[in-house]
Amino acid sequence: MDHTTSKNKILVLGRPEINKARIVDAVISQQPLLDLSSPDAKNDDEMGAKTPWELQTRYYQASLEFWVDSTEQLPQEQAEHMQKWLANPSQHDDSTDDIPMDASMNELQAHLSEVVDAIVFAFDPTNSTSFTDILPWARFSKVHEPGVLLCVAVRGAGNSCCGQLAEEDKDAFFKWCVVNGWEWLDLTDTDPETEYTAGRLREALVSNEWANMVATAEEKRSARSPSPIASDDGAAVAKEPQCSAERSEWDGFDYIARSVDPARIDAVHQALFGTSEGHEGDVEAVVAQIRNARNEISQMDHADQSGRRSRAAELALAVAKRL
């Protein structure tokens, strides 16, 4: 397959002060993302830079390419529209027709949709105007539906100050992402146990079903030879082969999910959504409850890994039940 025209591109966007090249390096090298806010941090970005990524997992391989580019502050009309959308995240659930967009951007996005299947939008949350740059790509996500959408909060170069961002501002970004199908990754979170890491960014990209993915020899052998697993009565049964790239991601979760009490899932679902049926105004309250539940799980005893995983599975399945 011609990799130039294959839908295997990862678009990485953000203001010039965001060191997007370092983010790309952290994903490819699987190394921790260094502090991008240090005044000494060299910005390696180049306008229109392209970085190849030969991705190999246990189950598949794919030739991918990062396309890095910088955003600019939007015209006033578009910035104000994005601010209103941030205040009302469900504003464009039904239509994107009234999103203000230049004809040249529409044409560019039509071409990009043929090759781009992931967007990583990085912004400095202490600079509120930088989030509005997402508007064209929020429209892109609604119209062209790429496989991966990541909204990444990072400190811009020279902005190492902490405590400047109110929690309600983070909640607004988080809520908008949840409602509009973007995964929120807060890399400014200093909690050492947080799930917000460059590793999670890589995981999201690895789990996508890329157009040019090719099964490895091990995956092909596995598909031909189903492995036996124990049934509830102890007998060995054949496990259905799975050829999807997501198998490695889901097998572990599947095992945990089978051990979760359905009554607990119902209880969590009732706690989150029981009083919100038909009330759009309750979305904010539900998002806050999800955040609180996630925080409670992160504060559990780290030695109790089984308990933490079970609680996380309960929360995930309760939310999935609503979708």
The C-alpha angle 46, 48, 110, rounded to 5 degrees, equals 160
116 plus 69 within the same structural domain: yes
The tens digit of pLDDT for each residue in 144-167 reads: 999 999 999 998 765 555 545 556
Question: Could you tell me where the DSSP H helices lie in 53-134?
Answer: 76-87, 103-112, 128-131
Are 194 and 280 members of one domain? Answer: no
The lowest-confidence range among 73-82, 94-103, 214-223, 251-260 is: 251-260
Question: What digits encode the pLDDT tens for the residues 196-234?
Answer: 778 889 999 999 999 999 988 765 565 555 555 444 444
Q: Given this model, what pLDDT does residue 108 score?
A: 95
What would the pLDDT profile of 269-287 be if each residue is shown by its tens digit?
Answer: 777 777 544 444 466 677 7
| Residue 317 domain-assigned (yes or no) | yes
CB 100 within 8 A of CB 81: yes
Region 245-268: what's the mean pLDDT? 63
User: Could you tell me the residue range of the domain that residue 281 belongs to?
Assistant: 229-322
Two tokens, residue 159: 């902005």
Assess whether pLDDT exceeds 90 at residue 106. yes
Looking at the domain assignment, is residue 138 inside a domain? yes
Domain membership flag for residue 218: no
Indicate the pLDDT class of residue 190, thresholds 50, 70 and 90.
Answer: confident
Rounded to whole angstroms, how far apart are CA atoms 201 and 158? 23
Q: Which of 45-49, 74-78, 270-274 has the lowest mean pLDDT?
A: 45-49
Note whether 160 and 288 are same-domain residues. no
- Tell me: do 166 and 21 sit in the same domain: yes
Is a pLDDT exceeding 60 seen at residue 316? Answer: yes
pLDDT attached to residue 255: 57
- The backbone torsions φ and ψ at residue 12, rounded to the nearest 5 degrees and listed phi first, read -115, 115
Regarding whether 50 and 141 lie in a shared domain, the answer is yes
- The dihedrals phi and psi of 231, each to the nearest 5 degrees, come to -85, 180
Between these two residues, 150 and 45, which has the higher pLDDT value? 150
Instruction: Give the pairing type, strands 49-56 and 60-70.
Output: antiparallel
Domain count, the chain: 2
Considering the chain, what is the average pLDDT of its residues? 78
Q: What pLDDT, on the 0 to 100 scale, is given for residue 279?
A: 46
% of the chain at pLDDT higher than 90: 41
Q: What confidence score (pLDDT) does residue 216 get?
A: 82
- Are 23 and 136 within one domain? yes
- Clarify whether residues 79 and 130 are in a common domain: yes
Share of the chain above pLDDT 70, in %: 69
User: Could you tell me if 198 and 280 lie in one domain?
Assistant: no
Query: Rounded to 5 degrees, what angle do the CA atoms 180, 57, 182 make?
Result: 5
pLDDT at 32: 73
Please compute the mean of the pLDDT values over residues 107-132 and round it to a whole number. 93
* In a domain? residue 181: yes
**81 Cβ partners below 8 Å, 6+ apart?**
99, 100, 135
The answer on 315 and 200 residing in a single domain is no
Same domain for 298 and 183: no
We report the CATH number of the domain holding residue 148 as: 3.40.50.11960
Check whether residue 53 and residue 164 sit in a common domain. Answer: yes
If you average pLDDT over residues 61-82, what whole number do you get? 94
Q: What is the pLDDT of residues 7-27, one digit of tens each?
A: 999 999 999 999 999 999 999
Q: At 40, is the pLDDT very low, low, confident or very high (cuts 50, 70, 90)?
A: very low
Decide if 97 is inside a domain: yes
- In the predicted model, what is the mean pLDDT of residues 108-129? 93
Which of 166, 191, 206 marks a domain boundary? 206
Q: Which of 114, 3, 124 is nearest to 53 (CA)?
A: 3
pTM: 0.68
